[in-house]
Structure 1
């Protein structure tokens, strides 16, 4: 789940001063989507990422903005309504914030003499890996 790891690192390195222990990350409602064929063993992981920031003293809008910026680079095909949130107000200066967004990533499978090699590919458009055209398949 490279994208979930990437989003976590992105938020931790942001100017929001989020502590690692206050940032919880989960993949929920996961699906493995198979495009297997004669020339292709690759598959796609699709899941609902749930990011929870506990005892957050900043503004929820800042987290939403940064998450949308990350999505623009890492999940550019996202829907306009792709980011959902919940806020639990703890006090006048702190909230628990939960963000949910749909993510997907391709896992490329290479079968070689020394074993099976899996590589998470997280580029913006990976359909050519999942469903290679006939010309690509002939060259593999």
Structure 2
């Protein structure tokens, strides 16, 4: 699942704790399903719950959530644009480990559209991941540097280059 891999890399780059210890981030795909229709095309869509688990975290949850929201704006914009999807798109659970640390589980509802096309010679089926609809008016200048995520003036993370608009 491409989005799981991309989000893992993005979150790891965005958060200082995960940059130092990337093995503290675990990624699971739960409740996956394939939607396809009985047509000549073999195109389909994966729908699944992506579960991000961060162990022994002592940081501000905003240093994780803000980059996730920025990533979703580019890679799964429908979950932020649709009021019904928005209600269930992001869920989280916390297990308090000590006075200073906790395990954080964030569950995201994601989809990936796969386009399957017969090549012109009719010899093979080529599959590609469909791009999400682009909303350039929502994003700052893509040549801008990474942006800091701050709480009370202190940097707690970054939105990796180029800020909101993540290149694929």
Identify the match of residue 84 of structure 1 among 84, 88, 91: 91
TM-score by length of 2: 0.67
Identify the match of residue 33 of structure 2 among 31, 34, 42: 31
SS in 2 for 1:13: helix
**Which residue of structure 1 lines up, in the alignment, with residue 70 of structure 2?**
69
- Please state which structure has a larger fraction of its residues in strand: 1
Q: How many residues align?
A: 124
CA RMSD, aligned part only? 1.7
Identify the match of residue 98 of structure 1 among 94, 105, 120: 105
Q: Which runs of 5+ in 1 are unaligned?
A: 126-140
Q: Which runs of 5+ in 2 are unaligned?
A: 80-84, 135-168
1:11 matched to 2:11: yes
Deviation at residue 36 of structure 1 after TM alignment: 4.4
Alpha-carbon contact 2:51-2:107 (below 8 Å) kept: yes
Deviation at residue 20 of structure 1 after TM alignment: 2.0
**Which residue of structure 1 lines up, in the alignment, with residue 57 of structure 2?**
56
TM-score by length of 1: 0.79
Alpha-carbon contact 1:16-1:58 (below 8 Å) kept: no
Structure 1 residue runs of 4 or more that deviate by more than 3 Å after TM superposition: none
Deviation at residue 63 of structure 1 after TM alignment: 1.2
